[in-house]
């Protein structure tokens, strides 16, 4: 067995039907430039070795010569599906360092944009899940509603995808007057649309066959591999940073953390769909409580962090997004910024999940992990 | 001396015409053998042209239709810019593919690589020649029509297997093997349902199967045999979808898994042939469904003579193609609605569900014939 | 080579043949221009906008381009959506070579045009796709909107309509990955142009002043009253589980050597007591204590740190700080173990940049998650791990020289950000 390519570890007798296959970096279902080396016996996967780095852009090295504010723009480009959430993760760390808070109105803006970003990301998941199972139509349905979120984001932040919106103590602009009515209209629309879409996938017999009992991640493994977000919650762990360590005003919001206990693909799908509904619930509460008066940002301060190490964690749509800022000198530039993206551990756990499954199941499992590769490679 | 001949109405007309024309030739050249050979060649030419027109002519229309149906299912518009509502979009596609660079990947078996798309095209072309499009519009009116179709359909899987194997690509090989397993399995239930039709119609000739459905809509085989006909039609629909490698049973192509399956390495004209074969197979399978279940070229009369006389005024060939396009539309709606099962689930479905149901259906059909006499 | 390229060679010598060639050109170009099938390829943000452009709202199908092919053999158009890294570059060149001609390339987004936000201090991003393969159309934006991509597509359409088979589509070869000189040249040209503009403007201003000595601008700046924003106090995020003081005291009872990472000079107990609720406890541990402490906090019922958030490191002049961030799923408290690793300066100075300077014990047998994280630390800092099952580079090529996140890292392709 000495001829095994690097990374493969399972040792057993080779037989003639065993062969290696290479998925990616250009492959329609690896969600970007991810390369998976597969060791297969017929159509059954024996072992999987992920190869990263095809989109390693050296963001952390670059951050060392950038100012804190410039880094917020780079955080957009890590997990571009939840750019607005990444912004908040960085900004909370900076606010901890600068020791400033934000006014109430800004907190509501933050929570609402967070939830919109979460819905947008989960809609992409919904589309990709259906699309990777072979139902191309799903892909378009997911993206259709997502465009409406982009309209709102564009109106608020000026950009569709890479928002670069939050700042320590506030945000770049105030929200326009049309923000609340538009969010309200969107939530009302999504309520109906989601029931349609769920009818499309949730009870579909082929979807059930393809996803129930596939890619089971046990509770112990999920914790050991450091999974987070919907993947962890689908394995039966009730962990959501919004509840476990509430930031912003999530402790005032009434929502539930959906948890499923089988840890298979279908549970991960159901958890995400349930999360869309919970997000809608939070949005409705925010719409009701949104303060009409009041400042939308705190008094501006130069973004200079005192010497120290600052850590923030938030719950993005994919999971735990932690920012670790090291300021060695008091100034505008970080000594080091490290971000912990949620997708990296998920791909690390992939080998555990796919063993013994077919190559079609790998596609399903990868879709339900919902990884974003630039966030892994950074 | 044995002289081959084609038995169809057009053939009779040519056979009558050729001796009349031969009379103008010098007497030394006139002979019955020569006449029949010329008649055969002219007939063959006409038939080939007719089949090509039906097949190759319908493919661009179908591709356009597929793109539009797909687009409207997905809340889009589809091709809009080229011609009125993008009607000539496919012509541009076909032209472009013809003028595209063609090459075989290194390590490929070149002969087999270029042969495979041609072999895939054989089956739908031969099947098309057997279909009665109208009362007098059939290329080859052979008495063993259904067995011939069952036999010829095996060609398709041969081409796909060859194509996948000769491209020297692991994805292609996987796709080809999947396709081989799938098509050979579903061929069995496909053949069984055709046998059911043969059993209840009492003929293997497609023309006489069609003629047996004359009358109202309730004389069609789908309704003539109560319940069993509808079950057989649904089973035929499923197994022919699998037979054609169309979504949701497109595990051989499986873009999300195998980046294109057996045709991953094909480009330009050979790829266009695979593309063409897929759509011609769509026409032939729909035609087969229409011939065997939906009354062929007969109008959908409902038994009220006032309406029926107007329905019957429309030529049979138009009814035939209307039904064919309805069937194609059904295939397309299914394609863009369902997700794809896994390869082992597909096999399970065939061997553990479809085949037993088929056998039961055959027995039930026999019982029905015995009871109704 | 399509067969069409032989047409001019055969037809042009024949009298009147050139009109036939012109007609062929017209028809073929019409077909090619209106049926552009893109390749399914995308690396980052632009890929999502590319996907959006084929979705219901924007619908690239209107232009006949919705047939995204996964196999390069069937594609016509290579939309370079997303940043190109040095590791991805060979794959891109190979994909481009696999597309049969005529093939077209759209460079979508700032990253593929010039490197975009990743120009400075970057060792891995290729500064512009044109350095790898010939590009037909550039679509700027970060990321470009789907409308911008459509404009790029229509621009490409116009370009194709002007082609002729007498002079086939391209004669380019894939270029060398080394881009530095080309980039510097472009930067110099740009700077010279800017200087020229400044000089011209100064001249024009002086001339204007000479001609109109009495000219006074009627423009008066309007002052907008600046909005008053309040100062807001920060409310620390909520925290569950043990407090930092409890954690620290319990840890210290077991391991007397541990201290707390702090920059103030107060006694450690005061520092721990004054920590805000949402500040994780950051404990300094010695290399000998590291593995026992990790084992202890993982298995102890009161700590129960079963969840590894991250393993990362910080490079200082003479040591690395390796930070292991742990969290308890059941209790909700966090603890950061900061392991100070002295750099091994016995290595010759010119070899330091490329050799492993410190070694830490691996915790991948306790936390499977640590396996990939430790590979990342090894890749970025050159910290070795004892007992790691598979210590290879993870993000960079195995022949990459140096460890990028060290402060003294240099790379020939790296440009310093101008201050």
Residue C98 forms beta bridges with which residues? none
Q: What is the pLDDT of residues C164-215, one digit of tens each?
A: 777 665 544 445 444 556 656 767 777 888 888 888 889 998 998 888 888 8
Where helices occur in chain A by DSSP H, the ranges are 59-63, 68-76, 83-98, 104-133, 136-157, 179-201, 205-211, 219-224, 229-234, 241-244, 265-289, 343-348, 350-354, 359-369, 373-377
Nearest to C151 by CA among C168, C137, C134: C137
Closest B-chain CA to C75:
B267
What local confidence, expressed as pLDDT, does residue C172 receive? 46
Enumerate the residues of chain A whose CB falls inside 8 A of the CB of residue C369.
224-226, 345, 348
* Whole-angstrom distance, CA of residue C130 vs CA of residue B176: 38
Query: Is residue C373 within 8 Å of residue A378, measured between CB atoms?
Result: no
Enumerate the residues of chain C whose CB falls inside 8 A of the CB of residue B266.
73-74
Enumerate the residues of chain A whose CB falls inside 8 A of the CB of residue B74.
136-137, 140-141
Position B5 confidence tier, pLDDT thresholds 50, 70, 90: low
B80 touches chain C (CB under 8 A): yes
* Whole-angstrom distance, CA of residue C341 vs CA of residue B106: 52
With CB atoms and an 8 Å threshold, state whether A237 touches C238: no
User: Cβ of B3: how many Cβ atoms within 10 Å?
Assistant: 12
Nearest to A156 by CA among A118, A123, A110, A200: A110
* Whole-angstrom distance, CA of residue B13 vs CA of residue B17: 6
Q: Which 8-state DSSP code applies to residue C221?
A: P
Enumerate the residues of chain A whose CB falls inside 8 A of the CB of residue C118.
57-59, 62
What local confidence, expressed as pLDDT, does residue A12 receive? 67
- How far does C229 lie from chain A, in Å, by closest CA? 5
Q: Strand, helix or coil at A80? A: helix
For residues B108-115, average pLDDT: 84
Q: Strand, helix or coil at C400? A: coil
Q: From the list B74, B258, B341, which residue is nearest A210 (CB)?
A: B341
Phi and psi at C24, nearest 5°, equal: -60, -45
**Lowest-confidence region among A238-247, A362-371, B332-341, C216-225:** C216-225
What local confidence, expressed as pLDDT, does residue C173 receive? 46
Q: Taking the CA of residue B223 as centre, how many other CA atoms within 13 Å lie in the half-sphere pointing to its CB?
A: 12
% of residues, chain B, pLDDT over 70: 93
Q: Which 8-state DSSP code applies to residue C129?
A: G
For residues A136-152, average pLDDT: 87
% of residues, chain A, pLDDT over 70: 97
With CB atoms and an 8 Å threshold, state whether C100 touches B259: no
With CB atoms and an 8 Å threshold, state whether B77 touches C62: yes
What local confidence, expressed as pLDDT, does residue C151 receive? 92
Closest A-chain CA to C370:
A225
For residues A286-302, average pLDDT: 85
Phi and psi at A255, nearest 5°, equal: -150, 165
- For B:259-278, CB contacts with C below 8 A are 259-260, 263-268, 271
With CB atoms and an 8 Å threshold, state whether B338 touches A21: no
With CB atoms and an 8 Å threshold, state whether A58 touches C232: no
- For A:23-52, CB contacts with B below 8 A are 27-29, 43
Most confident of A302-306, B1-5, B353-357, C8-12: B353-357
Q: Strand, helix or coil at A72? A: helix
What local confidence, expressed as pLDDT, does residue A207 receive? 86
With CB atoms and an 8 Å threshold, state whether B77 touches C59: yes
Most confident of A104-108, A199-203, C114-118: A104-108
- How far does C249 lie from chain A, in Å, by closest CA? 21
What local confidence, expressed as pLDDT, does residue C167 receive? 66
Q: Residue ranges of chain C with pLDDT lower than 70?
A: 1-3, 167-184, 186, 419
With CB atoms and an 8 Å threshold, state whether C121 touches A64: yes
How would you write A301-324 as a 3-class SS string? CCCCECCEEEEEEEECCCCEEEEE
Q: What is the pLDDT of residues B56-91, one digit of tens each?
A: 788 888 888 888 888 888 888 888 888 888 888 888
* Calculated CA dihedral for residues C228, C233, C238, C244, nearest 10 degrees: 150
Interface-testing mutation among C41, C51, C62, with chain B (most B C-beta atoms within 10 A): C62
Residue A74, pLDDT > 60, answer yes
What local confidence, expressed as pLDDT, does residue B373 receive? 66
Nearest to C229 by CA among A171, A111, A99, A93: A171
**Beta strands of C110-245 (E only): which ranges?**
137-139
For residues B40-68, average pLDDT: 81
């Amino acid at each position: 067995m000495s001829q095994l390519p690097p990374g493969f570890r399972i040792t057993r007798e080779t037989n003639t039907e065993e062969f290696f296959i290479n998925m990616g970096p250009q492959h329609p279902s690896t969600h970007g430039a991810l390369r998976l080396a597969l060791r297969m016996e017929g159509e059954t996967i024996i072992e999987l070795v992920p190869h990263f780095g095809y989109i390693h852009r050296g963001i952390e090295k670059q951050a060392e010569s950038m100012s804190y504010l410039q880094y917020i723009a780079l955080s957009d480009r890590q997990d571009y599906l939840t750019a607005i959430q990444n912004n908040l993760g960085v900004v909370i760390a900076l606010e901890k360092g600068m020791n400033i808070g934000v006014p109430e109105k800004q907190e509501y803006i933050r929570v609402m944009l967070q939830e919109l970003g979460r819905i947008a990301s989960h809609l992409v998941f919904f589309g990709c899940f259906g699309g990777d199972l072979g139902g191309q139509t799903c892909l378009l349905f997911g993206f259709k509603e997502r465009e409406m979120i982009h309209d709102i984001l564009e109106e608020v932040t000026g950009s569709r995808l890479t928002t670069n919106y939050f700042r320590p103590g506030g945000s770049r602009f105030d929200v326009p007057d049309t923000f609340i009515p538009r969010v309200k209209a969107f939530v009302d629309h999504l309520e109906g649309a989601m029931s349609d879409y769920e009818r499309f996938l949730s009870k579909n017999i082929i979807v059930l066959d393809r996803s129930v009992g596939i890619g089971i991640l046990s509770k112990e493994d999920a914790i050991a591999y450091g999974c987070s977000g919907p993947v962890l919650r689908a394995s039966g762990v009730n962990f959501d940073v919004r509840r476990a360590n509430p930031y912003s005003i999530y402790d005032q919001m009434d929502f539930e953390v959906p948890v499923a206990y089988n840890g298979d693909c279908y549970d991960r799908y159901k958890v995400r769909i349930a999360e869309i509904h919970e997000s809608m619930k939070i949005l409705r509460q925010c719409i009701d409580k949104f303060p009409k008066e009041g400042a939308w940002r705190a008094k501006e301060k130069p973004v200079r962090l005192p010497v120290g190490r600052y850590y923030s964690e938030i719950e993005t749509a994919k999971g735990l997004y932690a920012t670790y800022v090291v300021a060695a000198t008091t100034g505008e530039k970080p000594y080091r910024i490290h971000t912990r993206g949620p997708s990296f551990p998920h791909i690390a756990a992939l080998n555990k999940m796919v063993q013994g499954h077919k190559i079609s199941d790998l596609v399903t499992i990868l879709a339900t992990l919902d990884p974003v590769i630039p966030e892994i490679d950074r | 001396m044995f002289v081959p001949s084609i038995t169809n109405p057009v053939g009779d007309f040519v056979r009558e015409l050729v001796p009349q024309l031969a009379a103008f030739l010098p007497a030394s050249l006139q002979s019955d053998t020569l006449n029949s050979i010329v008649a055969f060649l002219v007939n063959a030419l006409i038939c080939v042209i007719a089949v090509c027109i039906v097949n190759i002519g319908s493919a661009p229309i179908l591709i356009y239709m597929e793109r539009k149906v797909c687009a409207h299912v997905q809340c889009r518009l589809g091709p809009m810019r080229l011609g009125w509502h993008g009607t000539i979009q496919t012509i541009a596609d076909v032209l472009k593919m013809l003028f595209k660079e063609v090459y075989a990947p290194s390590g490929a078996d070149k002969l087999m690589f270029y042969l495979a798309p041609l072999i895939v095209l054989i089956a739908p072309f031969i099947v098309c020649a057997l279909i009665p499009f109208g009362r007098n519009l059939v290329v080859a009116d052979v008495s063993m029509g259904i067995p011939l179709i069952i036999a010829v359909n095996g060609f398709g899987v041969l081409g796909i297997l060859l194509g996948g194997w000769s491209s020297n690509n692991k994805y292609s090989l996987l796709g080809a093997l999947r396709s081989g397993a799938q098509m050979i399995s579903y061929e069995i239930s496909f053949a069984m349902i055709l046998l059911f039709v043969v059993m209840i119609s009492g003929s293997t000739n497609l023309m006489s199967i069609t003629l047996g459905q004359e009358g109202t809509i309730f004389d069609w085989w789908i309704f003539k045999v109560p319940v069993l006909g509808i079950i057989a039609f649904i089973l035929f629909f499923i197994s022919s979808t699998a037979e054609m490698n169309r979504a949701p049973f497109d595990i051989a192509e499986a873009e999300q898994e195998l980046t294109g399956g057996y045709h991953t390495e094909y480009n330009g004209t050979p790829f266009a042939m695979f593309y063409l074969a897929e759509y011609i197979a769509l026409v032939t399978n729909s035609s087969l469904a229409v011939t065997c279940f939906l009354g062929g070229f007969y109008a959908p009369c409902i038994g009220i003579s006032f309406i029926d006389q107007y329905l019957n005024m429309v030529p049979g060939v138009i009814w035939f193609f209307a039904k064919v396009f309805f069937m194609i539309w059904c295939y397309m709606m299914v394609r863009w609605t369902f997700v794809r099962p896994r390869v082992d689930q597909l096999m399970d479905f065939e061997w553990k569900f479809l085949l037993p149901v088929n056998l039961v259906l055959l027995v039930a059909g026999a019982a029905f014939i015995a009871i109704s006499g | 080579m399509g067969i069409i390229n032989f047409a001019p060679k055969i037809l042009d010598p024949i009298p009147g043949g050139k009109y036939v060639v012109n007609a062929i050109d017209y028809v073929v170009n019409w077909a090619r221009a209106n049926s552009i099938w893109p390749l399914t390829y995308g690396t980052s943000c632009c890929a999502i906008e590319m996907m959006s452009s084929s979705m219901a709202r924007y619908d690239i199908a209107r232009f006949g381009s919705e047939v995204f092919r996964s196999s390069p053999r069937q594609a016509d158009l290579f939309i370079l959506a997303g940043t190109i890294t040095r590791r991805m570059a060979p794959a891109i060149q190979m994909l481009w070579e696999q597309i049969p001609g005529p093939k077209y390339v759209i460079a979508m987004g700032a990253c593929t045009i010039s490197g975009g936000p990743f120009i400075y201090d970057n060792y891995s991003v290729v500064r512009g796709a044109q350095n790898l393969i010939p590009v037909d159309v550039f679509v700027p934006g970060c990321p470009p909107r789907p409308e911008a991509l459509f404009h790029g597509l229509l621009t490409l359409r116009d370009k194709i309509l002007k082609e002729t088979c007498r002079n086939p589509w391209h004669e380019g070869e894939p270029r060398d990955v080394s881009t530095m000189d080309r980039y510097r040249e472009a930067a110099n040209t740009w700077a010279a142009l800017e200087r020229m503009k400044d000089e011209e403007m100064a001249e024009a201003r002086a001339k204007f002043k000479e001609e109109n000595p009495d000219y006074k601008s009627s423009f008066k700046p309007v002052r907008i009253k600046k909005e008053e924003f309040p100062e807001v106090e920060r409310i620390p995020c909520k925290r569950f589980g043990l407090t930092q003081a409890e954690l620290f005291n319990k840890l210290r009872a077991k391991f007397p050597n541990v201290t707390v990472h702090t920059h103030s000079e107060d006694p450690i107990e005061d520092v721990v007591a004054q920590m805000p609720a949402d500040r994780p406890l950051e404990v300094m541990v010695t290399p000998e204590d590291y593995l026992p402490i990790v084992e202890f906090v993982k298995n102890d019922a009161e700590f129960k740190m079963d969840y590894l958030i991250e393993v990362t490191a910080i490079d200082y002049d003479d040591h690395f700080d390796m930070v292991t961030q742990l969290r308890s799923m059941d209790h909700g408290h966090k603890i950061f173990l900061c392991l100070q690793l002295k750099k091994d300066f016995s290595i010759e100075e010119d070899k330091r940049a490329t050799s492993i300077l410190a070694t830490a014990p691996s915790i991948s047998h306790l936390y499977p998650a640590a396996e990939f994280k430790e590979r990342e630390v090894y890749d970025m800092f050159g910290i070795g791990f004892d007992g790691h099952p598979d210590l290879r580079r993870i993000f960079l090529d195995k022949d990459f020289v140096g460890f990028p996140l060290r402060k003294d890292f240099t790379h020939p392709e790296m440009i310093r950000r101008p201050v």
